[in-house]
Amino acid sequence: MTDSFDDRLEEIAAFPQFVKATLLKADGEGQLVDALGTINATQSAIGSIKLNTAVEVEAETEGAKYRYEQSQKGMRSFNNGGMFLTLMVALDYKSLVNLLKFLMERDIVRLSWQWTKLEKLLRIRNITLRVASHEISEGDPDFDMGEYWKPGSQGYKRLEEDVG
């Protein structure tokens, strides 16, 4: 077997099939979890290597099979107070609450509550919210918020290795 660059690329390209074959050989959930954890760690390591190496490549550089392109992402910032005032006048709203309801109903603006900071304010000011144990919708007359639990993201924690 030669050790050319193209041979190495072929080995990398074959990696997904190797991973799939390894997963199919797993005997039980324990081996499957070990395989998935190893794959996860390897994927993270490969991603890190790729990102650290990509900074060395100029945009629009071409190889035999690929071209490196740097995409652009539009970024926007808003003066919320100014935007609300402009929209209140333009849309003839007398109440900020009604304007916010209008904008949120159309998914134009989304409020993102910072739970830890809100919880601190509630505790300091001794405020009690009306909390439902399920998801609620905007305009629910009975609850201020809904709190419920669902499974979080999956992860693989490496177990302690045997010493000896």
Q: What is the mean pLDDT of residues 42-66?
A: 89
> Band of the pLDDT at 108, cuts 50, 70, 90?
very high
Tell me the CA end-to-end span of the chain in Å, nearest whole number. Answer: 37
Whether the pLDDT of residue 47 is over 70: the answer is: yes
pTM of the model: 0.57
Half-sphere exposure for 125 (CA within 13 Å, toward CB): 9
pLDDT-derived band at 152 (thresholds 50, 70, 90) equals confident
Percent of the chain topping pLDDT 70: 96
- pLDDT of 89 > 60? The answer is yes
The pLDDT-based confidence of 70 (bands split at 50, 70, 90) is: confident
How many CB atoms sit inside 10 A of residue 133's CB?
A: 9
Q: Which residues contact 138 (CB under 8 A, 6 or more apart)?
A: 101, 104, 105
* Average pLDDT value over all residues in the chain: 90
**Residue whose pair of structure tokens reads 């490549």 in the numeric block:** 57
Strand partners, 131: 145
**Per-residue confidence band for 162, with pLDDT thresholds at 50, 70 and 90:** low
